Amino acid sequence: MSTDERRLSGFRERKDTFFREQEQSPLTQEQKATFTGLSYFPTNPDLSLILELDKSGDGIGEEITVGTMTGEPKQYIRIGRIRFEVDGEEATLSVFQDAKTGKLFLPFRDTTADDETYSVGRYLDPKVRPDGRLVVDFNMAYNPHCAYNSGWSCPIPPFENRLKVPIRAGELIPNIPHE
């Protein structure tokens, strides 16, 4: 097992433990009682990327309002765009920064939504490398908490982050009854 596979495996184990045991888990007590772990696509090394953040173009630095599942608006700053290929097709996503916390946020919806992944979309938390490029590992893509429990307010990926390609990496449709 490679270092990246061990890192990903450890991440997934920690996430299952969090979901099963922690009070802050999105799962209800009833869901925790039957929880056996989250489901994932097989690891896809082709979707573990280090990308330049393009800070040029329209709307960069602009604060945008993103809708949520509960209708409450959430504020983000569009800090740039990433470009990459999936199965030979070009893809572009906007990267956002939470206006309150400063945390990077990459919400997206791809062609696997509804059939293989959560219908609303998934999230990623890109990391900035010392050289300024971003680590964008779609194997770490996760479902928002509202995929498990309607008591959560989750940002809906904006139209500009709806891909016409499949991202077959990360979490699959939850195998847990929705509360």
∠ CA 96-8-122, rounded to 5°: 35
Neighbours of 175 (CB within 10 A): 11
Exposed / middle / buried, residue 119 (Cβ in 10 Å: 0-12, 13-18, 19+): exposed
Question: HSE-up of 69 (CA within 13 Å, CB side)?
Answer: 14
Using CA atoms, how far apart are residues 76 and 32, in angstroms rounded to an integer? 32
How confident is the prediction along the chain (179 residues), in pLDDT tens digits per residue?
Answer: 677 788 889 999 999 999 999 999 999 898 898 899 999 999 999 999 999 999 998 999 999 999 888 888 899 999 999 999 999 999 999 999 998 899 999 999 999 999 999 999 999 999 999 999 999 999 999 999 988 888 888 999 999 999 999 999 999 998 776 65
pTM of the full structure: 0.92
